[in-house]
Amino acid sequence: MRKEIELSLNEYETLLNKAAVGSGLPWGVAEDAAACGAWFMSFGVNELDTWIAYLNDNLFWIDYCKKIDQPKSNKLNNIFDLAASVYVNPDTVVKLTSYEWNIQGLLIDGVKQIPSYRACLSEKQFKILNEYAYKTYAPATDESRLSGAGAGLSDND
């Protein structure tokens, strides 16, 4: 059986955000990329591998953000475009092959998806996301350890 990691949805979104920054996306673009990934997960859209693959494509996410900022000129080509549309205007009704967004929420092949606040991902996916996220953490040094947190030599009392 494939091992899975379970996270809360906001913990997952934070991880996606860090991974996106770690992959080289600017802070603000990473926020939208993470929101997109969390949106997929909450509705059971299994696109995490695609999302991860796009981490190496800054232009994809910059274009994605432009679609969010100008939803009226957004032509739906894929599920990411649909996410970009409904993210800004949840009242809209949009259809794309097997996906439909309407007042009920997201329907996949006509089946209404129940939003969840949990995220399940494979160990491999979790490992990849953490490897990207890790790039945002400063290396441990004695200088940093001693001065950075302000606790000094003794934080006991």
Where is 122: in which H helix or E strand?
A: strand 118-122
Told to check if 46 binds another protein by CB under 8 A, we report: no
CB of 43 to another protein, least distance (A): 14
CA distance 29 to 59: 10
55 within 8 A of 18, measured Cβ to Cβ:
no
Told to check if 110 binds another protein by CB under 8 A, we report: no
120 within 8 A of 76, measured Cβ to Cβ:
no
SS3 105: strand
Dihedral Cα 43, 48, 49, 54, nearest 10 deg? 120
Told to check if 8 binds another protein by CB under 8 A, we report: yes
Binds another protein by CB under 8 A, chosen from 15, 16, 19, 32: 32
Range 120-149, binding another protein (CB under 8 A): 134, 136-140, 143-145, 147-149
Told to check if 156 binds another protein by CB under 8 A, we report: yes
SS3 94: strand
CA distance 131 to 39: 22
Q: Residues 63-102: x/- map of binding to another protein (CB under 8 A)?
A: x-xx-xxx----------------xx--------------
User: Which residues bind to another protein, rule: CB under 8 A?
Assistant: 6-11, 25-29, 31-32, 35, 58, 62-63, 65-66, 68-70, 87-88, 117-118, 134, 136-140, 143-145, 147-152, 155-157
